[in-house]
Each structure stands twice: as structure tokens, then as C-alpha cells.
Amino acid sequence: MTQIPMGAVPKKKKEKLKVVGKSNRSPKKVLHEMKRNYSAYLFLLPKLILFTLFVAIPVVWAFVLSFQKYKIFGSEFVGFENYIKVFESEAFRIALKNTLLFTVVTVPFGVISALVLSALIFELGKLSQSLFRSAFYLPTVTSMVIIAMVWRWMYNYDFGLFNYVLGWFGVGPVNWLGQSSTALWALIIMQCLIPFGVGIIMYLASMGSISQSLYEAARMDGASRFKQWIHITIPLLKPTTLYLVLLSTIGSFQVFTQIIMMTGGGPGSATETLVHLIYKTGFRDFEFGLAGAQSVVLFVIILIFSVIQFRVLRHDE
Amino acid sequence: MKKKPLDRLNKLIIFGLLTVFAVVSLLPLYWVFSTSLQLSSYQSQDMERPVSYVDSNPPKMYPMGIPLYLKHWGEAREAAKAGDAEEEAYHRDMMDHIVSNSFGSFKTLFKKHDVGKWFFNSIYIAVVVTIGILLIDSMAGYVLAKKNFPGRNLIFWIIISTMMIPGQVTLVPLFIMVGNLGLMDTHWALILPDLSMVFGVFLMRQFMYSIPDELLEAAKMDGASEWRTYWTVVLPLARPGLAALGIFTFMNVWNSFLWPIIVLNTAELYTLPVGLKTLQDANLASFKLLMSGAAVAAIPMIIVFILFQRYFVKGLTLGGVKE
């Protein structure tokens, strides 16, 4: 559900924003300006009220809560107790490890496969381009609840599609989701096989905007098609790649629906992830303060990852 | 200048490869529909017991009702030709049975479970939120892009900075807030937080920049009020942006899951994803029934996608959106 701005979009922002700014700073003038523009505030009012109630206050509250022991009448501040609990708990460590493994495998796989697929699609004619684009994007518009349900069915031990297919090769049957050794990998494989539709659409759009004269020049120099791809296409797609890596990392750290629909974090805690743990802590055990601290830690982890990725991928520009 | 065309063979190889990948990517969806229509009980004259093709080994790759229906249809016709009325009636019966069994789980879903209600809830919540977001966010985006008033940048940056914060962070406080407002286990608990999403403001503001100032000036000259200008000049010009935002809002709300399972407790109020989860948790449901439920939830999004495909592409390339 998270949405973040795309790297390519805010082009205009800087110049436009400068228009407003400095000049009329005296309180009287400001007040006059505010009166003159009262209708603008009225236009903003509905969003501002909703935003304050359901976004701004909860965000601030989340941080406050993480330092409290929540009680319906009068919560008390407990300092860093919740955070200490978070870092000392085995459950959190396991959830973090699982989430990291999930992210480290699925994000590169998703982005690279989107890059390769869109490169292949781009070689085709208009009609087949839009055909394949749709085929790869369609699973993305389907709810993860549905996808999780059908994969649970395909992973079924007795009658599932996968064990049947494995049977052709004389392997299995595998108890995919039922044993600790395979459950997390079953979820990872599933994530890898769901096409990264957003990535494909955005790569195709970016590839369409690369000037053909660059390729023309490369061809004059006798560069092969593959070399052109490596040396022209991929570097020029870097902003898109950065955006997609950030986007899918953030999404991947929040993996939840598959977990609750397919394994419930089990067997044992083999597929426990951070958000599922937060869900359990907050809404099964009703430990609001602890859940608050866990979600703040999740936020910080995501932030750190985003900054690192931004640095690394931006590096040589 | 055109890029050098690949030779035919290469193109064919690429096409073949992509087809394989596309089949893999669409297989789960196909499996939803195939299982939902699979024949779960069939007994012909030469069988001792009825068989279910839903959990058969090896799995049937398509709904068995189709070939069996055709078989009985052919045999019924032959029997009719031969003048064997009894035999014909038998085959006609079998055909009826195959049809009612294949589609039976859909009937069960709507009759025995609350799927009809869940479907309605999902639709109306998604529609209400989408219309609300389009109105509220276009109003906000418009003045943030086109009006020059004190506090404009501050407001914009406060709103935008929260876009980086993952939704899970506010889960607990939002839960307490919704409880304090007395909205727990109501649809308002879904609608109001959804209406507060900030992405649309960002998208609309980007889009409103492209509206020429001269048009707004002209409307002002004609003595149009601010509201009239917004309603008759700005909104029509922003239509492509509104379409993209509307579709993504609808999709997000339709598919939203984590928050609804937290705040909804009454079966009658469930949205489809929540209902599907309880259906699966109940453990009574066969895979045919579960897949039928999944199909009911998938169909509206597939239709929306097919109808508005180009806006999906536009929305994604205008400003990234993720479910």
C-alpha cells in the first residue's frame, strides 16, 4: 500500500517551488495574503482534516506509543523498555532473518527478470508488445489474497500441481508448506514466479524514451546487440532500476498477506516475518507498546536500506 | 530513425520464450478458474462410485465438465436418432448434472455463505473511496499546484514526507484512534483512513501543473468563482490524471487486506478478501469452493484492467504506484 514518488517525476518541482518563497515575510503581508487566498485553504481543508486525523496524529503517536506501556486509562512511559524487548526477543530476530532472506533473494530476482523480460518484449512489434505487457501485468492487479490461495492449493501435498509435476522427474512428493526446511523457500519461489508487472511496464516506458541515435552510433562502431544493451540500455535505465529496487525492497519488507494466508508464520516460526510478527504482537496479544516499537524498528530498517540503495545505485552518476 | 529489425528467426525465438514465461505467469490465475469450474462429482454407468476431478491424481488440467458434456451430448443425439428415448433422457440428465455441478460452488457461495454481501461491501467501499479520493485529492492538488498562498510548501512537504512511512507503522495508533472514534467494526473504519492516503495529492499536483495558467485567468476574467473554475475548467482538463488515480485507488481498496482483517469482526461487514480468509480458515471448504470465491474476487479487477489498460500504464509512468 505504500506509494513513493518515482525518480523521474519531480523534474519540474524545484523550479516551480522557487516561485513561492522568500519575498513577503512581514506578518501583516502574510495575513493579507492568507485572506486573499482563503479559498485555497477551503480547497485543502477536507484533505488536511483527514490527513491530520488518520495520518499525522497516528505517525507521531506511533513513536510515542513505542516508549509506553499502553493501558486504556493512562498509559505510562517506560523509556526504552519496549525497544530492549524487541532486540532481545528471539522471535524478532527470526522474523528479521526471514524477512531479510526473502528480500535479498526476491528483489534482485524480480528486478533483473523484469529487465530481461522487458528487453525481450521491446524487440517485438507494437501488438505483441502490449499483449505480453498485459500478460505479465495481469497477475499484479490480482489481490495477493487470491494468489496466495491458489498457490496454497498448488503446493498441496496430496493433489497439488507441483508435486504432480515433480513426479514426472521422479522427485517428491514434497511437503512444501508443512515443514520448516522448505516453507520459506516455497514462499520465495512463489514470489519469484509472480512477474514484477510494475517493473516491466516502467522499463518498457523508459526504454521507449531512449534516443535511437545512440544505438545508431554504437552500430557504426560495430557493437553487437548484446553489447549495446549492456553499455547503452542498462546504464540509461539506471534511474528506473533505482526506483524499482527501492519500491520492491520496501514492498518486500512488508510481506504479510502470503504469510497469514499460507503458513501463519509456521511451521514453528520458519516463515515468521516482521509485519506478521507486528500483527500478532499488536492484534493477537494486544501488546500495543511492543508492537509500536517493532514497527518503528521496521521503519528504521526500511529507511536505512533505502538510503544505502540510493547511495550505491546513484554512485557514479 | 528505426532500429535495425531482427531477423525472423530471432524474433520467433523471442516470441516463443516470452510465451513460455507468460504461460507460467498466468498459470495460477488459470488454475483458479479451472479449479472453480472443475467437476466435483461424476458417475457414468460403468463406474462403481462417483469420482471427483478436483482432487484427482494426476490433476486434470482443464474443467472435465467440458469433454464429458460434449460426450453425453453426442450420445444423446445418437440415442435420439436410434429412437431410444430412455437412453436419451439419461444423457440429458447427465448433461444437466454436469452443468449444475460445475457451476455449483458459485451457487453455494452466494447461498450458504455471505459472498454476495462481501462482494457488495467491497464494491461500494471501493467506489465511495475512489470518488472521495478523486474529489478531495484533485481539490488539494489543484491549489497546491496553482495557487500561491502562505504555507503552501510547508503543507505539501509535510504531506509528502509521510509517503515514505510504511503503513504498518501507524497500524496500532490508527487502531486505537478508530476505537476512540467509535468506528471499530464499521465500514467507516476502512473508508476514512483510505480517504486519507496521500499519494493522490502528489499525483494530482504533478498533473495540475500541466494545466495552462491562461485558462484559469480567462475563467477568472469571466467572473467564475473559484469553485466554478475548479469544477468546469480544471477537472475536465485533469481527466487523464483522474482516470489513472481512480483506477489505482479502486485497485488498492479492492485488494486491501491487512487493515480490514484488523478492524472488521462481523461476517456481514466483511470485504471479499477478508471473507475469503475466513472461508479458508474454516477448513470446511473444498478447494473448488475456495477457488470459486477467489474467482469472484478476481473477476472485477480483471475486467477493470482490460477496460482501462492504458490508464494503468499511464498511472505507473506518471508516478510509481504499488499495491
A170, A175, A179, A183: CA torsion to nearest 10: 90
CA A280, A286, A292, A293 dihedral sign is negative
Cross-strand bridge partners of residue A77: A68
The predicted structure's pLDDT at residue A65: 87
Chain-chain contact of A149 with B257 (C-beta, under 8 angstroms):
no
CA distances (Å), B40 to each of B36, B67, B100, B109, B112, in order? 10, 14, 11, 15, 18
Pair A283, A37: CB distance under 8 Å? no
The Cα–Cα gap between A37 and A45 comes to: 13
Chain-chain contact of B198 with A20 (C-beta, under 8 angstroms):
no
What proportion of chain A, given as a percentage, has pLDDT over 70? Answer: 90
Task: Report residue B315's pLDDT band, with 50, 70 and 90 as the boundaries.
Answer: confident
Pick from B193, B313, B165: nearest CA to B260: B193
Task: Report residue A24's pLDDT band, with 50, 70 and 90 as the boundaries.
Answer: low
C-alpha atoms less than 13 angstroms from C-alpha of B233 in its C-beta half-sphere: 23
The predicted structure's pLDDT at residue A273: 94
DSSP, res A22: S
In sequence order, what are the residues at sequence separation of 6 or more whose Cβ sits closer than 8 angstroms to the Cβ of residue B171? A278, A279, A282, A291, A295, B258, B259, B262
What's the mean per-residue pLDDT of chain A?
84
The predicted structure's pLDDT at residue B206: 85
Task: Give residue for cell 499483449.
Answer: A131
Task: Report residue B244's pLDDT band, with 50, 70 and 90 as the boundaries.
Answer: confident
The model's pLDDT over A288-301, given as tens digits with 9 standing for 90+, comes to 889 999 999 999 99
Could you give phi then psi for residue A60, rounded to 5 degrees?
Answer: -60, -45
DSSP reduced 3-state for B225 = coil
Task: Report residue A192's pLDDT band, with 50, 70 and 90 as the boundaries.
Answer: very high
Pair B158, A266: CB distance under 8 Å? no
Pick from B233, B255, B230, B234: nearest CA to B305: B255
Query: Taking a contact as any Cβ pair under 8 Å apart, which residues of chain A between 245 and 304 contact chain B?
Result: 247, 250-251, 253-254, 256-257, 260-261, 275, 278-279, 282-283, 288, 291-292, 295-296, 298-299, 302-303
Residue A155's H or E segment, with its range, is: none
Closest Cα in chain A to B165: A299
In sequence order, what are the residues at sequence separation of 6 or more whose Cβ sits closer than 8 angstroms to the Cβ of residue B153? A17, A20, A21
- The domain ranges of chain A are 24-65, 84-314
Is the pLDDT at A190 greater than 90, yes or no? yes
The predicted structure's pLDDT at residue B29: 93
Cα A3 to its chain centre, rounded Å, is 9
Task: Report residue B269's pLDDT band, with 50, 70 and 90 as the boundaries.
Answer: very high
The Cα–Cα gap between B255 and B273 comes to: 7
The predicted structure's pLDDT at residue A167: 83
Could you give phi then psi for residue A40, rounded to 5 degrees?
Answer: -60, -40
Question: Residue A27: how many CB atoms within 10 A of its CB?
Answer: 7
The predicted structure's pLDDT at residue B130: 96
The predicted structure's pLDDT at residue B321: 38
Chains A and B: how many Cβ contacts under 8 Å? 323
Grid cell, residue B234, equals 480544471
Q: For domain A84-314, give the CATH number.
A: 1.10.3720.10
Cα A210 to its chain centre, rounded Å, is 26
Question: Residue B52: how many CB atoms within 10 A of its CB?
Answer: 16
Mean of the pLDDT values across residues A137-150? 90
State the smallest CA–CA distance between residue B301 and chain A in angstroms: 7
Pair B142, B208: CB distance under 8 Å? yes
**CB of A62 less than 8 A from some CB of B:** yes
Chain-chain contact of A43 with B140 (C-beta, under 8 angstroms):
yes
The predicted structure's pLDDT at residue A102: 95
More confident residue, B204 or A170: B204
Pair A269, A95: CB distance under 8 Å? yes
The Cα–Cα gap between A176 and A32 comes to: 68
Pair B183, B247: CB distance under 8 Å? no
Q: Where in chain B is the domain with CATH 1.10.3720.10?
A: 113-318
Is the pLDDT at A15 greater than 50, yes or no? no
Of A132, A247, A257, the CB nearest to B18: A132
Mean of the pLDDT values across residues B304-313? 84
Q: What was the ipTM of the complex prediction?
A: 0.86
Is the pLDDT at A109 greater than 80, yes or no? yes
What's the mean per-residue pLDDT of chain B?
86
Task: Report residue A77's pLDDT band, with 50, 70 and 90 as the boundaries.
Answer: confident
Grid cell, residue B87, equals 437412453
Grid cell, residue A81, equals 523498555
Pair B161, A303: CB distance under 8 Å? no
Closest Cα in chain A to B158: A56
Most confident of A43-52, A262-271, B52-61: A43-52
* Residue of B20, B32, B123, B170 to mutate, interface with A, max A Cβ within 10 Å: B170
Pair B134, B234: CB distance under 8 Å? no
Chain-chain contact of A59 with B165 (C-beta, under 8 angstroms):
yes
Query: Taking a contact as any Cβ pair under 8 Å apart, which residues of chain A between 131 and 170 contact chain B?
Result: 132-147, 149-154, 156, 158-161, 164, 167
The Cα–Cα gap between A102 and A190 comes to: 11
The predicted structure's pLDDT at residue B4: 52
Of A19, A120, A141, the CB nearest to B305: A141
The Cα–Cα gap between A204 and A123 comes to: 10
Chain A positions touching B227 (Cβ under 8 A) are: 39
Q: For domain B113-318, give the CATH number.
A: 1.10.3720.10
CA B71, B73, B77, B82 dihedral sign is positive
